[in-house]
Structure 1
Amino acid sequence: MMRDSWNKILNLLEKGLNPGLYKVWIKPLKAEISSNNIKLFAPNDFVAAWVRDRLMDNIKEAGEQVLGVCPKVEIGVKKAVEKPAVKLAPATKPVQTSIGLPMMSPPVINTRIPRWRFSFDDFIIGDSNRLASAASRSLCDNTLPGDQLFLSSTPGLGKTHLLHSIGRDLCASSNKKHVSIACLTAEEFANRLVLAIKSGEVSRFKSEFRDNVDCLLLEDVHFFQGKQKMQDEILQTLKSLQLRGSKVVMTSSFLPRELEKIDPQLVSRFCSGLLAVISTPDFETRKRIVESKAIRLGTMVPNSISELLADRITTDVRQLESCLQNLVLKARLLNRDVSQELAWQVLENYAVAKATPSYDSIVDHICRFYELTADQLRSKSRKREIVLARNTAFFLARKHTDLSLKDIGSKLGRRHSTVIKGITNIEREISLQTPLGRQLQDTIDRLNP
């Protein structure tokens, strides 16, 4: 019964969390469950602290769904029984698999091939992303000058789609039996380095990334801002990969020149390959995205519906696809056709854009939602709720206006670096799907100029 309950909780967490988060931090946990108590045991103190700080709410929510009551969750470390030392063979090749990012079971750390979620076939090309798409394909067929690509855009415009498409294509076209591709976020790279340091496996970590990787796909490199040791490590890794002729693709919500507290050598390295910016797709591209997604969902939507969605959701492809998916699902559950009436009902839950929101309308929205005044938003207060509201305003102003990061900060009495840090924090909470992240997504979705 205890094992069944924990397996059900694991199943819910696997569905609700980013695959990398689940495999690195949740899967290594062991559990003991009694009535409404869940005792978790991590392989080491660092994993225990990380889960305690960032994933406890997710575990409690999953536990409540399975147990029927909100459980008390504790986490500690179960020390492994010591065994006689076994001499390990030299780690000359990374272990290959197709199940996703690696489980962190120190001391051995291996680069593994993930399950690719996207492909070039389902990436809709328009003027906004034509260069990025062409560059990504060229990297795969070796026609791109150089072996490095840097993709930049605001969230939800296709960076991750192209990253996974590159990984999938390289795996399919490689003449090697086992092509070694490391696909992870900058935060995951940093966490793995910290685990390697804690477990005394830094040399193995460096060897794995510098000597054994054919292609590094690294997301959200703005995470390295202000983290000098991490910057030193990724800089040396990039240098080693370049010398080996390995391919490198990096993504960020910011251009390299917009980053602060980054070693100039690392910024230069970011700029050493082709830089491709993905901008907001135009109406025709958005309409084709809706039509393509509908086909993948096994349905056809009337032209009027695809035009309605494309007209109302203008700045986030991920949100556009989510809206269509919810519309199709609602129609199926109600056993009804996809209609204008249903479409308008579903659109109420999304950021419908009659016009591009202005900076002032964004501030008004944030003040209403957080029940603050504009003066409080601009104040020097460090209260948690005000900081959160201010960061959300940074995020929305970056997403919906043409203001530079410096101008956004100036309007709210903050420096350029503070704006970047605030936007990064918002993106991180949303991508991790934490309770706070879901609240933030709701705030963003309700923006209606």
Structure 2
Amino acid sequence: MPAFVFVLQTAGSRFCLLLRSLLYPGPCLQPGPDRRPAGGIVFFAVFLSNHYLVVFCMLWDAVRNSLASTLPASEYELWIKPLVCQGDENDAMVLAGPDRFFCAWVEQRYLELIRQKHLAAGGQGRVALRVAGSGAPAAPDERQLRLPGLPRHEARLRSLHPAFTFDQFMVGESNILAQSACKALALNDYTFGRCLFMSSETGLGKSHLTQAVVHQVLRSAPATRLRYLTAQQFSAEMVQGLRTRTMDRFAERYLDDCDMLLLEDVHTLTGKNKTQEELNVVLDSLLKSGRRVILTSSLPPDRISGLDTDFKSRMTSGLLASIQAPAFETRVRIIQHKLAAQNMAVAGELVEYMAEQLTGDIRRMESAVMNVRARCRLRGSPPDLAMIREVLDGFACMPAQLTAEAICQHISSRFRVGREDLCSRSRKRSIVFPRQVAIYLTRKFTGHSLAEIGALYRRDHSTVLHAIRTITQKMAQNTAVREQVDLLSKDLEKRR
């Protein structure tokens, strides 16, 4: 039987004719007199085998044009334009995205809108997403994302943020070394070596760069066996292996089935000697066999206490890259980028004013931009200097964020106790109380977790929690303690 290609150029306004017929003897389907196809829509039905026709619905162009006029330009360019129509399957329009993480994000944020536009253009409102090159619809997003090709219970990937890619990262003098090293490792370029240790305060881009590496590797070399997790997750896996007597499987996951290890928050391993021992073995094996390793920490190596000497030496055997707070010029570009992502046009002098005021971590800049956007929408007017000032005056995070190190130094100075004493194992009352106050204030003024605070003061999670509860109780019961802590808090507030 000969192959047929049906081309239907239609004119009309509301409905489109979906043509699907088998190649058996009989008349072709014709549109009824009361069914008018959608104007300007072209359908191709191509005979692909001796058994069936596949109908390619060219609705996508109309849907995409409608989305372009509905969504902000930045969102359209980032999340809609990369989608490619691959025809139809089970009466649903099939759209393909570059990877499963991209598809998961589109499904969560835009799929319902796409279906509405599809219905409005004359389709049935049925749309399916799949990863380009795969034969099955994209899997729904999971809390724990996993790699294809590996046993489901073995894969280990933290959830990824779709926007944490290299092209969305603003490079400046403060982070260019870390960014260059990460990009090189992602592309199998060993210019900077095979092991990278990144450190910075929170909110400066460590996780962004680490996830950018994962995104890049999954796109350019999807067969790579990646392990991306936190040090606490690694420790939990090890403890589970010990409890269930499956340490051989635990070792196999990291020694035999891992091409690249990305481990975040290694400073939280303070005092966890067994975990350090196991991780030391893993790092030794990976690096000796030429595999790639990226480690991140909120503290530089020389300030992480409670680490085994051999383990610390091993994890710092490669490149050490410290990320600092962005300079003014970089802050300007970051704020401009954030504003563009919200489809907001703001005068250059206003952007510079925001950059002057918003020093410190990038999350504060994001929050400020969202506040400006919200006020613009509520008032129905573009931002001006008065509005920007109003936002920043009431913006809780406008002052530079206090660091844990600054708080430690302040307590050390006020109580006349050496910083090393605060971080020591001493149980002298003259040391314990200032240490507990420092821990309490660090928890109050920073976004550090209990584990991160414990890493700074060489204490475990339970000891940090006990210190916070102790100071809270003493403040409630003892007026002198409350006044003392309040005075210290006011001192720190002035330094913000």
Of the three residues 381, 393, 399, the one matched with 1:336 is: 381
Match of 2:457 in 1: 421
Of the candidates 245, 257, 267, which is equivalent to residue 200 of structure 1? 245
Q: Which amino acid aligns with 1:421?
A: Y
- Cα distance 1:297–1:192, how it changes in 2: closer, same or farther (>3 A)? farther
Alpha-carbon distance between aligned partners in 1 of 2:351 and 2:220, rounded to the nearest angstrom? 35
- Which one-letter code corresponds to 1:420 in the other structure? L
How far apart, CA to CA, are the structure 1 residues paired with 2:265 and 2:342? Answer: 29
CA distance in 1, matches of 2:237, 2:145: 10
Matched, 1:306 2:351: yes
Q: What is the CA–CA distance in structure 2 between the aligned matches of 1:295 and 1:261, rounded to whole Å?
A: 44
**Structure ID, larger Rg:** 2
Q: Is residue 135 from structure 1 mapped to residue 181 from structure 2 by the alignment?
A: yes
Report the secondary structure of 1:298's partner residue: coil
**What is the CA–CA distance in structure 1 between the aligned matches of 2:440 and 2:343, rounded to whole Å?**
40
Q: Does 1:352 align with 2:388?
A: no
Q: For the Cα contact (< 8 Å) 1:294–1:324, is it kept in 2?
A: yes
In 2, the alpha carbon distance for the partners of 1:115 and 1:152 equals 20
Deviation digits for residues 18-44 of structure 1, max 9, x if unmatched?
xxxxxxxxxxxxxxxxxxxxxxxxxxx
State the one-letter code of the partner of 1:159. Answer: K
Aligned to 1:149: 196
Checking the alignment, whether the CA contact within 8 Å between 1:152 and 1:278 is kept in structure 2 is yes
Please report how far the alpha carbon of residue 382 of structure 1 lies from its aligned counterpart in structure 2 after TM superposition.
4.2
Find the counterpart in structure 2 of residue 315 from structure 1: 360
What amino acid is aligned across from residue 199 of structure 2 in structure 1?
Answer: S
Partner-residue secondary structure (3-state), 1:218: strand
1:391 corresponds, among 422, 430, 442, to 442
Aligned partner of residue 151 in structure 1, secondary structure: strand
Kindly report the root-mean-square deviation, in angstroms, between the aligned alpha carbons of the 2 structures: 4.3
TM-score (norm 2): 0.54
Say if 2:166 is the partner of 1:120: yes
The aligned counterpart of 1:275 is 320
**AA matched with 2:271:** G
Note the 1:44-443 alignment, pairs <5 A: 99-101=142-144, 108-112=153-157, 114-117=159-162, 118-145=164-191, 146-174=193-221, 176=222, 178-347=223-392, 348-353=394-399, 380=431, 382=433, 386-392=437-443, 420-421=456-457
Displacement of 1:301 in angstroms is: 2.2
1:336 deviation in Å?
Answer: 3.3
Aligned CA distance change for structure 1 residues 356 and 239 (closer, same or farther; 3 Å): closer
Q: Is the Cα contact below 8 Å between 1:126 and 1:285 reproduced in 2? A: yes
Report how many residues are paired.
311
CA distance in 2, matches of 1:389, 1:443: 14
For 2:352 and 2:491, locate their aligned partners in 1 and report how far apart those are by CA, in whole Å: 22
Q: Which shows bigger deviation, 138-147 or 262-271?
A: 138-147
| CA distance 1:304–1:243, change in 2 (3 Å) | same
* Structure number with higher relative contact order (C-alpha < 8 Å, ≥ 6 residues apart): 1
Distance in 2 separating the partners of 1:422 and 1:303: 46
CA offsets, 1:70-117, max 9 Å, x none? Answer: xxxxxxxxxxxxxxxxxxxxxxxxxx99745369xxx95532474344
Distance 2:490 2:378 in 1: 27
Offset of residue 205 of structure 1:
1.7
Question: CA separation of 1:282/1:233 partners in 2, compared to 1, >3 Å: closer, same or farther?
Answer: same
Unaligned runs of 5+ in 1: 1-95, 367-372, 399-416, 430-435, 437-441
Take 1:325 and 1:444, find their aligned partners in 2: how far apart are those partners? Answer: 30
- The structural deviation recorded for 1:387 is 4.7
What is the TM-score with the length of structure 1 in the denominator? 0.59
Quote the Cα distance in structure 1 between the aligned partners of 2:340 and 2:254. 39
Q: 1:109 to 1:382 in 2, by over 3 A?
A: farther
Using the aligned pairs only, state the percent identity.
29
The DSSP-based 3-state class of the residue aligned with 1:350 is coil
Q: Which protein has the bigger helix share?
A: 1
Instruction: Check whether the contact 1:301–1:338 (CA below 8 A) recurs between aligned residues.
Output: yes
- Partner letter of residue 305 of structure 1? L
Q: Give how far 1:392 is off.
A: 5.0
